[in-house]
Amino acid sequence: MKILANDGISQSGIDALTKNSFDVITTNVAQEQLAGYINENKVSGLLVRSATTARKELINACPGLKLIGRGGVGMDNIDVDYAKSKGLHVINTPAASSASVAELVFAHLYGGVRFLHNSNRSMPLEGETNFKGLKKAYAKGAELRGKTLGIIGFGRIGQEVAKIGLGIGMNVIAADKFTDEATVTVTLFNGQSIAVSIKTESLNQVLEKSDFISLHVPAQKEYVINAGAFSKMKKGAAIVNASRGGVVDEVALIEALESGHLSFAALDTFENEPKPEIKLLMHDKISLTPHIGAATLEAQDRIGEELAAQINSLLK
Burial of 2 (0-12, 13-18, 19+ CB in 10 A): middle
Strands (E), 86-218: 89-92, 148-152, 171-175, 181-187, 193-199, 212-215
Q: Would you put residue 260 in left (φ > 0), alpha (ψ -120 to 50) or beta? A: left
Among 158, 153, 141, 170, CA closest to 236: 141
Under a CB-based contact definition with an 8 Å cutoff, are residues 198 and 175 in contact? no
Q: Which amino acid is at 301?
A: D
Is residue 271 part of the annotated active site? The answer reads: no
Chain length of the chain: 316
Is residue 70 part of the annotated active site? The answer reads: no
Under a CB-based contact definition with an 8 Å cutoff, are residues 97 and 153 in contact? no
* CA–CA dist 144, 301 (Å, integer): 31
293 Cβ contact partners less than 8 Å away, ≥ 6 residues apart: 97, 100, 101, 104, 242, 268, 269
Q: Which of 291, 302, 305, 306 is catalytic?
A: 291
* CA–CA dist 304, 299 (Å, integer): 9
Q: Which of 117, 156, 216, 244 is catalytic?
A: 244
209 Cβ contact partners less than 8 Å away, ≥ 6 residues apart: 148, 150, 173, 201, 234
SS3 193: strand
Is residue 273 part of the annotated active site? The answer reads: yes
Active site residues: 244, 273, 291
